[in-house]
Amino acid sequence: MSERTLVLIKPDNFRFPTGRPGNVIDFFSRTGLYIVGIKVHRMSVAEAAEFYAPVKEVLRTRLKDVVAAKAKVAIERELGFKVSLQEEKQLGDLLGPAFGDNQFDNIVKFMSGRTPSESTPEQIAQPGTEKSIALVYEGVEAVRKIRDVLGPTDPSKAPPGSIRREFGQTIMVNAAHASDSEENAQRELAIIRVAENNFRRSVEEFYGKS
């Protein structure tokens, strides 16, 4: 069965004038899939918040242990008394959701250039300051093939030769995003609206019409 999946070449590839965006796309070409849509996109704060909404609750709950451990170390170092296991858990319950919300805001800012709290009501829906390239790949097992080339979210755990191992830096600054299922691809495509297919117009605006 043929599938369609979304890829976002993330803003970290555009911070400096380099060939990195093209190199990342070259890696994806190993899959043998067809590019059927491409768009230069500046994600708004509202789009970034909607796009990554499924991640928000995960961040609020799964980071509790990390926050608790860091808070325990900081308190013991700065205040000079031991924190019990029960108190450490309470710290995670108290601070975990707030830390998760902060991490989510960092993702939104990384993708759009602003956090919701830094934006006026008018700016929330306006195109952001960070640039991405959105691509739609089509073919048999497109979702799996793209994610195999991309590698795990954490670049340090990605295998050699994968995009995130070669170009990624951190879990957030990891070169590219790819849909993890056909259902999520459909949801994400509805947000990014790649069908606008503005790549040619963007190239012409930069280089001029031939």
Q: How far apart are CA 116 and CA 168, in angstroms?
A: 26
Q: What is the pLDDT of residue 207?
A: 52
What tokens were used for 202? Answer: 């963007």
Active site residue 177: yes
The set of residues, in sequence order, having a beta carbon less than 8 Å from that of 193 and lying 6+ positions away, is 39
Domains of the chain from N-terminus onward:
2-42+131-207 (3.30.70.141), 50-122 (no CATH)
Could you give the 3-state DSSP secondary structure of residue 17?
coil
What is this structure's pTM?
A: 0.85
pLDDT digits (tens, 9 = 90+) for 35-69: 999 999 999 999 999 999 999 989 999 889 999 99
- Judge whether 16 and 9 are in contact, CB under 8 Å: no
81-135, pLDDT tens digit by residue?
999 999 999 999 999 999 999 999 999 999 999 999 999 999 999 999 999 999 9
Q: What is the pLDDT of residues 30-42, one digit of tens each?
A: 999 999 999 999 9
Give the model's pLDDT for residue 16: 87
Catalytic entry in 7, 158, 177, 185? 177
Token pair 């954490």 is at which residue? 154
